[in-house]
Homo-oligomer: A and B are copies of this chain.
Amino acid sequence: MLSVTFQKELEEYQAKINLELDNFFNKVISENNYGFNVKLLGVIKEFTMRGGKRIRPLLVLKGFQAVSISKGIVNQKLEQEVLKLSICVELMQTSFLIHDDIMDKSELRRNKPTVHKILGENMAILAGNIAMILAQKIITDSNFSEEIKLKATNKFNEIIQTTNYGQILDLQLSEKNIFEVNEDDINQIHLLKTAKYTIEGPLQLGVILAGDPDNVQDKLVEISKIALPLGRAFQIQDDLLGIFGSEEKLGKSVFSDIIENKKTLLVWCAYMKANEEEKEFIKLVLGKQDISEDEFSKLKEIIIKTGSKDYSKEKLIGLTEQVTHFINSSLLDRKTKNFLLNLAEFFVDREF
């Protein structure tokens, strides 16, 4: 059971990050010189402010603290600067989501119309581009030293590149039949699109902001070791929720993973263990735009019956144990360790 303290900490940070985001957008909009793009900037703001767990900016801060705590330094003013910068990863997420929604032809995001539904596809392509350049400018406009800003920019650009590469693979797999895909492909996507993007990248960005050359390299390695299984665990839970979760809590249709022909471990395993008749059925419904409630229920039954749901859950537990082991045996400080242990637990327990 997730500790109440952790949940409270998470909520406190979410509020702080939302405040930073709000301040940022107000500044961008008030300093904007052109009348014609006010609407688009407003849409990017509204889309970003719809919510989200804000895990990525929080991880930037935690990466920073992992270095500063180990040095025995607490500098509240500097932490405020880190918080201000940390929202760049949310703007990046906004950019990716806007483009993803176009590609997936999704109509809803967090229970509201997607950007291309509001502005049209062409303007949404530009909105995604603008969100990304705003994200990058947050780093270069920050108050950190030139050296740190350049290193942070390098890391940030590396995250953008890796995530785009993951997206290529995802698109390629979504055009394939399930039997043409193997588990390595699925793991590769988890690595690029989740572990590196959601966990490792933000934590490492935070470490870099601490700007301590002696400590940074060790910390980056420690973090990678933890981030990769943690990211995979996060993704497996995401895929479980995508099929078995609550639409209301998720803010999107539980059909969407199936309609988009997303290659998840859950569906892939079910297919591998299914009998011939079930295999044909799975092939039929994957990517089907007008999948019915009955077909969806039958698919869920097959996922359960073949043991695929249990397999995903076992994998999730195995990865979480691995993460716990890596955290405990790492050289990170006690506070950072506790945070990461709680986070791993949160990833498994979450319903959204």
A169 within 8 A of B: yes
A187 within 8 A of B: no
Q: Are B150 and A146 in contact (CB under 8 A)?
A: yes
As a 0/1 sequence over residues 132 to 160 of chain A, the CB contacts with chain B under 8 angstroms (1 = contact) are 11101100100000110110011001001
Q: CB < 8 Å: which of B36, B137, B157 contacts A169?
A: B36
Given A146-B150, A153-B153: A171 touches B122 (CB 8 Å cut-off): yes
Q: Which of A90-135 contact B (CB under 8 A)?
A: 99, 102-103, 122-123, 125-126, 128-130, 132-134
CB distance from A24 to the nearest CB of B (A): 15
- The distance in angstroms between the C-alpha atoms of A37 and B168, with both chains bound, is 7
- What chain B residues lie within 8 Å of A102 (beta carbons)? 122, 125
A182 within 8 A of B: no
Given A99-B125, A140-B153, A171-B123, A133 contacting B161 (CB threshold 8 A): yes
Query: When the two chains form the complex, which single residue of B128, B137, B157, B167 contacts A161, counting CB atoms closer than 8 Å?
Result: B137
Once A137-B161, A147-B146, A161-B133 are accepted as A-B contacts, the answer to whether A126 and B167 lie under 8 Å apart by CB is yes
* A37→B169 CA distance, assembly (Å): 8
Q: Could you tell me the distance in whole angstroms from the C-beta of A191 to the nearest C-beta in chain B?
A: 11
Asked if A76 lies at the interface with its beta carbon under 8 angstroms from chain B, I say: no
Asked if A244 is at the interface of the complex by the 8 Å CB criterion, the answer is no
Is there a chain B Cβ closer than 8 Å to A3's Cβ?
A: no
Task: Indicate which residue in B37, B129, B165 contacts A37 across the interface (CB closer than 8 Å).
Answer: B165
Which chain B positions have C-beta within 8 A of A179? Answer: none
Smallest Cβ-Cβ distance to A104: which chain B residue: B122
A129/B169 in contact, CB under 8 A = no
What 9 new A-B contacts, CB under 8 Å, besides A102-B122, A150-B150? A37-B169, A99-B126, A102-B125, A103-B125, A130-B161, A134-B161, A140-B150, A140-B157, A146-B146
A interface residue numbers (CB < 8 A to B): 34, 36-37, 40, 99, 102-103, 122-123, 125-126, 128-130, 132-134, 136-137, 140, 146-147, 149-150, 153-154, 157, 160-161, 164-165, 167-169, 171-172
